Structure 1
Amino acid sequence: MELRHLQHFVAVAEDQHFTRAAERLMVSQSGLSASIRALERELGTPLFVRTTRRVTLTEAGRALLTEAERILAGVRAAHEAVAAVQGVLRGTLSIGTEQCIAGVDVARLLAAFRRRHPDVEIRLRQWGSGALAEEVAAGRLDLAFAYRTETDSDQLRSVSLTVEPMTVLCHPEHRLARAGAPVTPADLGGEVFVDFHPDWGPRRSTDAAFAAAGVRRTVALELNDVHSLLDLVDENLGIAVVPRHFRHKRETLTALPLKDTAEAVYETVALLPAPQATSPAARALMNLLEQEGA
């Protein structure tokens, strides 16, 4: 099995289209098709279901994709490790992050990293914390900044960056704002909530706190953008439970402490693979983060 066959297979799986994958790889479409057919012959099974509009993975293809990505990530890490020993950091840094993460200024950190290591290509993806953890564990991301979603494992470890309480945001004319007192989940049982999708860290933290308190809540307005969430609360369409640092993003809103909830803590972490699998670029970024306190 040749590495280029795996590279071609992964590209087609990502693009779900032979022409687009060929253009990205800068190879001929006929050459790409021949490479995939050779891989299918070697494995003795089709890897794609082909239609006139796109291609989709078969069950065998889905199984291969996970392993192919892991193999290619290992090969890339090997090349980068040798370059690092020779005193040159190059290759690719694939990083993921949630929106408006606390404890790290991602843009400033990446800018400082690029100044120090201009030969490293930076790739950035933004997802929810659950997806980020899966991507790092699978080797598709070198590291990610996210909400702590699980305990450490053989494939995933976490480095704590900051811990902060959750805060209730509401419109100044809302009854909670007029009372001006800290609130408990029980005080919010009948409220309309604005919140993120379930994979996001703030949503996970809030869901855990309300579940621990035995209080059901209904998220009527669900989205995946911080500023849209603040806009909806600013129009008095609902309240939101968010990490405390969000209160500085919209000074017109009233922020109230959420009490009696030991689970309502938002811990930001850097998610990394096991030490032996951590890329030189990821280690350099974490060293820079520690040095500059970005």
Structure 2
Amino acid sequence: MELRHLQHFVAVAEDQHFTRAAERLMVSQSGLSASIRALERELRAPLFVRTTRRVTLTEAGRALLAEAERILAQVRAAHEAVAAVQGVVRGTLSVGTEQCIAGVHVAGLLAAFRRRHPDVEIRLRQTGSGALGEEVAAGRLDLAFAYRTQTDTDQLRCAPLATEPMYVLCHPDHRLAGVSAALTPEDVAGEVFVDFHPDWGPRRATDVAFAEAGVRRTVALEVNDVHSLLDLVDENLGVAVIPRHFRHKREALTALPLKGTGEAVYETVALLPPVRSTSPAARALMALLETGSG
């Protein structure tokens, strides 16, 4: 099995199209098809279901994809490790993050990294914490800044960034705005809730908090960005449960501490592969973060 066969396979899987993958790889379509056929012969299994419009992975193809991505990431890391020994950090740094993550100013950190390592190509992906963890574990991301969703495994480790309590956010005219004390999940159980997609860290933290309190709630207004959540609360269409640092993003809204949630907190971490698999670029970025240079 040759590395180029795996590279070709991953490209077709990502693009779901032979012509587009061939153009991206700058190889002929016939050569790409021959490469995939050679890989299928070696593995004795079809990897794609081919139609006139697109190609999709077979069960065997899906099984191979995760391993192929991991192998290619390890090869990339080996090249970068040799360069690092020679005093050069280069290659690609693929970073993932949630929006408005606590404990790190992502834009400032990446800018500081670029100033120090201009030969490294920076790629950034923004999505939910669950997906970020999967992508780091699979080698598609070098590291990610996310909400802690699990303990360390043999494929993923967590470096703590920040821990915050949760707050209830509401419009100044809302009935809860006049409450002077902290609120409990029971106090807001009957409210209309604005919240993020279930894969987002703040949503996960809130779901855990209410589950630990034994209180059910229904999210009526679900969004995928912070400003939409704030806008909906600002129009008094519902209340939101947010990490503490979110309350400063819209000063006109009322933020009240949420208590009675047991051990549930909003904890953010840097998600990293095992030490042996962490790229020199990722180590350099974490060093900047730890020294506060970003």
TM-score bracket, shorter-length normalisation: over 0.9
Aligned to 1:98: 98
AA of the residue aligned to 2:257? P
AA of the residue aligned to 1:231? D
Aligned to 1:109: 109
Q: Compute the TM-score of the two structures, normalised by the length of structure 2.
A: 0.98
SS of the equivalent of 2:193 reads: strand
Aligned to 1:208: 208
Aligned to 1:158: 158
Question: Is 1:33 paired with 2:30?
Answer: no
Shift of 1:103: 0.7
AA of the residue aligned to 1:43? L
Checking the alignment, whether the CA contact within 8 Å between 1:205 and 1:263 is kept in structure 2 is: no
Listed as ranges, the matches of 1:185-204 within 5 Å are 185-204=185-204
1: CA distance, partners of 2:23 / 2:164: 46
Shift of 1:145: 0.3
Deviations 1:148-178 (A, max 9, x none): 1101111111111111111110011100002
1: CA distance, partners of 2:180 / 2:7: 58
Checking the alignment, whether the CA contact within 8 Å between 1:156 and 1:271 is kept in structure 2 is: yes
1: CA distance, partners of 2:88 / 2:230: 44
Aligned to 2:61: 61
1: CA distance, partners of 2:254 / 2:181: 11
SS of the equivalent of 2:238 reads: coil
Aligned to 1:17: 17
1: CA distance, partners of 2:263 / 2:241: 13
Shift of 1:180: 3.6
Aligned to 1:236: 236
SS of the equivalent of 2:216 reads: coil
Shift of 1:264: 3.5
User: 1:293 and 1:87, CA in 2 relative to 1: closer, same or farther beyond 3 A?
Assistant: closer
1: CA distance, partners of 2:237 / 2:25: 48
Shift of 1:79: 0.3
Structure 2: 5+ residue runs without aligned partners? none
Aligned to 1:87: 87
Aligned to 2:266: 266
Q: Compute the TM-score of the two structures, normalised by the length of structure 1.
A: 0.98
2: CA distance, partners of 1:146 / 1:233: 24
Shift of 1:76: 0.4
2: CA distance, partners of 1:46 / 1:70: 20
Deviations 1:22-80 (A, max 9, x none): 11111111211111111111111111011111110000000000110011011000000
Aligned to 1:173: 173
AA of the residue aligned to 1:109? L
SS of the equivalent of 1:146 reads: strand
Q: How many corresponding residue pairs?
A: 294
Checking the alignment, whether the CA contact within 8 Å between 2:172 and 2:252 is kept in structure 1 is: yes
1: CA distance, partners of 2:275 / 2:138: 14
Q: Which stretches of structure 1, 4 residues or more, deviate above 4 A after TM superposition?
A: none
Checking the alignment, whether the CA contact within 8 Å between 1:104 and 1:293 is kept in structure 2 is: no
Aligned to 2:281: 281
Aligned to 1:48: 48
Checking the alignment, whether the CA contact within 8 Å between 2:212 and 2:264 is kept in structure 1 is: no
AA of the residue aligned to 1:82? V
Aligned to 1:218: 218
Aligned to 1:145: 145
1: CA distance, partners of 2:2 / 2:263: 49
Aligned to 1:126: 126
Shift of 1:127: 1.2
Checking the alignment, whether the CA contact within 8 Å between 1:195 and 1:229 is kept in structure 2 is: yes
2: CA distance, partners of 1:252 / 1:43: 61
Identity value in percent: 85
Question: Is 1:252 paired with 2:252?
Answer: yes
1: CA distance, partners of 2:182 / 2:291: 37
1: CA distance, partners of 2:216 / 2:110: 40
Shift of 1:293: 5.3
SS of the equivalent of 2:173 reads: coil
AA of the residue aligned to 2:110? L
